[in-house]
Structure 1
Amino acid sequence: MPSGTLLYAQSGGVTAVINATASAVIQTARKRKVKVLAARDGILGVLREQLIDTSKESIADIRALAHTPGGAFGSCRLKLKSLEEDRAKYERLIDVFRAHDVRWFLYNGGNDSADTALKVSRLAAEYDYPLHCIGVPKTIDNDLALTDCSPGFGSAAKYTAVSVREAALDVAAMAETSTKVFIYEAMGRHAGWLAASAGLAGEGPDQAPHLILLPERTFDEADFLAKAKSTVERVGYCVVVASEGIRDADGRFIADAGGRTDSFGHKQLGGVASHLAGRVQDTLGYKVHWALPDYLQRSARHLASRTDLEHAQAVGTAAVEYALDGMNAMMPVIVRTADAPYAWKVEAAPLSKIANKEKTLPAGFIRRDGYGITAKARAYLGPLIHGEAPPPYGADGLPRYVTLKNVAVPALLAPWHE
């Protein structure tokens, strides 16, 4: 039986299947007779020494995490700076690890989280503290390097494609006397993976979505309006999917919510669909409807992809095995071995080659006119939304999700002051 405890933390925006990863982590560690602590509200909980004893949870509740959305232990957006700039915070992390005999640290997040796990591993080595740090992939943006896809993306992509297909049927039914243009806003700051997944909703120029606006292509308003007009004249209506991160020729976000920034220093986006709807209505005179699904894209566990769920569970299991087997500064990644039939496996990749890297939509995935996806994109995206994994439903007709007890571990250090 290995000596020490394993600490698991969730980071950044949660996904429909991040708790499935947590469930796999805890179950795998229990099989190896290792105690798992979870940080309340991510890395912030480690700094505050607010840790949760997962051994207090029943196995039934831990298994139920696999079909429960959200972040069971709480997540946070807290970007740690360099080891030099934020050394006091990193040293506090090491102090907390020492106090609770944490020998394995699993950080479940995206690019910034991979960077943090890498820095923590380096500081632990500097202090000669025996700690194995493993980054665990998660993001609906699908922008992590080295991994074929990011757990969380497949379910958000499925939700997007289904929502666009269903909304398009509604628009088509009403177009003669009502809505001519419908605009759906997809998450995606710099990478258009989620917007591109909407392309799975239809095939051919006359099937929705007719226009996809991707951050990898400069937004040209005049060209967009002309394309929307010609689509309405040809098809009778136009369904547009716009990534929140589209920019103009000067590099400015089309949707810039008052210039605010989040804790990672990113521009606070949201509202591009509303903006475009106004421009279409004012310029072309069409009746327009728009939708901002926002959190719905990442919380829709009822529409999760079976493939995505299996990915999320597999990386959780592998992360524990890597850590307990002595790996450090690594991440379990998805490796695709075939498109049709789809086949994949999990391999270890160094955090140094993942941290702060960003994988954008390849040029070969974007249609020549810039407003749609190619056959290559369909071959890549299609398998990721395959399969259903619905949660159990109760007599009230609603999904039966679990809420953990989240029993706190007594603090052993002096309170941390930010």
Structure 2
Amino acid sequence: MPMNALYAQSGGVTPVINASAAGVIAAARMHPNHIGRVYVAKNGILGVLHEELIDTSVLTNTDLAQLKATPGGAFGSCRHKIKTEAELARILAVFKAWDIGYFFYNGGGDSADTCLKVSELAEAAGYPLLAIHVPKTIDNDLPHTDNSPGFGSVAKYVATSVREAGLDVRSMAASSTKVFILEVMGRHTGWIAAASGLAARSEGEPPHLILLPEVAVDEGRLLAAVENTVMRYGYCVIVAAEGVKDTHGTFLSEAGGKDAFGHVQLGGLAPYLAGLIKTHCGFKCHWSVADYLQRAARHTASATDLAQAIAVGEAAVKLAVAGQGGMMVTIERLGEVPYTWDIGAVPLGVVANCEKPLPAEFIAADGFGITAAARRYFAPLIAGEAPPPYIDGLPDYGTWVWSIEAPCLPIFKP
């Protein structure tokens, strides 16, 4: 009898993470001789610990199509770091109880670490489990892959927003706001902020200044750049990654506290910069934080991103059926013009807890912009439109109420 499969979503969601889920589920159904039932853990690895499993056999082809067109995590996600032997033992007990032989974990770097731990646990216990990491992260910081599903759509949303907001600020700059600051996600890497540079088609178009975690901010130099930009163009649009640091290595937006993985909580960069500029330059400033809007904007999804999100889900199943566990699916860039790509895979050990910084050759000499090489890299990732269906003028996103399977084991008490 074929063993069952378990899929779960982890970490911050993306506009296309559900497309990867649909890819996994649809591909698994094509291999009934290898894979039995496909379950999903509600709220990521927490659903495994609490034995809250969903049987995906209830999903129709229409449901799968709607998953591909819906943002957020349809099955629930989580931020939870496996820390104890008791948790690892519980995960293995649940897998045994449900005859799980395939584990597909859809997430970023921290999720890759969880997937690796589960894979190593099963191997040490002699349990037949193939664990595959399905990549996704809007931060685009997973190593050994050309890009990460979710990033292309967020990059498209941010570049679009900068172009639109720039037109607004320009039209009012003579008598009102002269500086607009958009804060985007990016704790340690500036991929999202850098991609906003695609909004500028010619000299003088926004974003005029891009602040990256890879480049320390000297406040005096920043203020001089803002003044010079306003003098030349009449206004200044700034895109800043949340993880920007000063010359002493301190986050400008450090808010105090840490998350489940020990990461410092960030917040408030945009208002901080607005206050700094207003105080020292006297310009009226306006700021905005893209926050969850950027990672939920399915209406501006990139067609390239959607196709790759589906493909990594399908490829994860192919790896599993081929007996290749302990791996992460990767995207390989084959050509620039036209942009061509293929699917590959790397061992989880080279991915877990690793980050891919923005390359130095993508950063302009003054540290406030991007190079032609960066534009060549980013451009195909935001290419093409893949809008969701609309009803009454609004996206027709799916909402599901899942039925949880009756548990086999006692309630978990960590």
User: TM-score range with shorter-chain normalisation?
Assistant: over 0.9
Q: Counterpart of 2:243?
A: 245
Shift of 1:185: 0.5
383-392 vs 197-206, which moves further: 197-206
Instruction: Give, in whole Å, the separation in 2 of the partners of 1:94 and 1:241.
Output: 45
Provide runs of 4+ in structure 1 moved above 2 Å.
Answer: none
Contact 1:106 / 1:134 at 8 angstroms: preserved in 2?
yes
The amino acid of 2:397's aligned partner reads Y
**What do the CA deviations read for 1:87-144 (whole angstroms, capped 9, x no partner)?**
1111110000000000000000000111111111111011100000000100000000
> Aligned Cα RMSD in Å?
0.9
Mapping of residues 370-409 of structure 1, within 5 Å: 370-394=367-391, 396-409=392-405
Contact 1:47 / 1:93 at 8 angstroms: preserved in 2?
yes
Shift of 1:204: 4.4
Contact 1:61 / 1:404 at 8 angstroms: preserved in 2?
no
Contact 1:144 / 1:357 at 8 angstroms: preserved in 2?
yes
Q: Counterpart of 2:288?
A: 291
Shift of 1:270: 2.1
Instruction: Give, in whole Å, the separation in 1 of the partners of 2:268 and 2:142.
Output: 25
Mapping of residues 9-408 of structure 1, within 5 Å: 9-33=8-32, 34-81=36-83, 86-257=84-255, 259-394=256-391, 396-408=392-404
Instruction: Give, in whole Å, the separation in 1 of the partners of 2:325 and 2:181.
Output: 45
Shift of 1:32: 1.5
The amino acid of 1:415's aligned partner reads I
Shift of 1:407: 1.8
The amino acid of 1:375's aligned partner reads A
Instruction: Give, in whole Å, the separation in 2 of the partners of 1:235 and 1:40.
Output: 51
Shift of 1:206: 1.2
Instruction: Give, in whole Å, the separation in 2 of the partners of 1:399 and 1:136.
Output: 26
TM-score, length basis structure 2:
0.98
Shift of 1:404: 2.6
Instruction: Give, in whole Å, the separation in 2 of the partners of 1:392 and 1:203.
Output: 30
Instruction: Give, in whole Å, the separation in 2 of the partners of 1:127 and 1:249.
Output: 48
How many equivalent residue pairs?
A: 411
Name the SS for the 1:5 alignment partner.
strand
Instruction: Give, in whole Å, the separation in 2 of the partners of 1:23 and 1:114.
Output: 20
The amino acid of 1:355's aligned partner reads A
Instruction: Give, in whole Å, the separation in 1 of the partners of 2:75 and 2:168.
Output: 38
Contact 1:56 / 1:407 at 8 angstroms: preserved in 2?
no
TM-score, length basis structure 1:
0.97
The answer as to 2:407 corresponding to 1:411 is yes
Name the SS for the 1:295 alignment partner.
helix
**What do the CA deviations read for 1:9-46 (whole angstroms, capped 9, x no partner)?**
00000000000000111111112123110000000010
Shift of 1:59: 2.0
The amino acid of 2:25's aligned partner reads I
Instruction: Give, in whole Å, the separation in 2 of the partners of 1:285 and 1:247.
Output: 23
52-61 vs 272-281, which moves further: 52-61
Instruction: Give, in whole Å, the separation in 2 of the partners of 1:223 and 1:203.
Output: 25
Shift of 1:264: 1.2
Instruction: Give, in whole Å, the separation in 2 of the partners of 1:406 and 1:100.
Output: 18
Shift of 1:205: 4.2
Name the SS for the 2:181 alignment partner.
strand
Name the SS for the 2:254 alignment partner.
coil
Instruction: Give, in whole Å, the separation in 1 of the partners of 2:361 and 2:109.
Output: 24
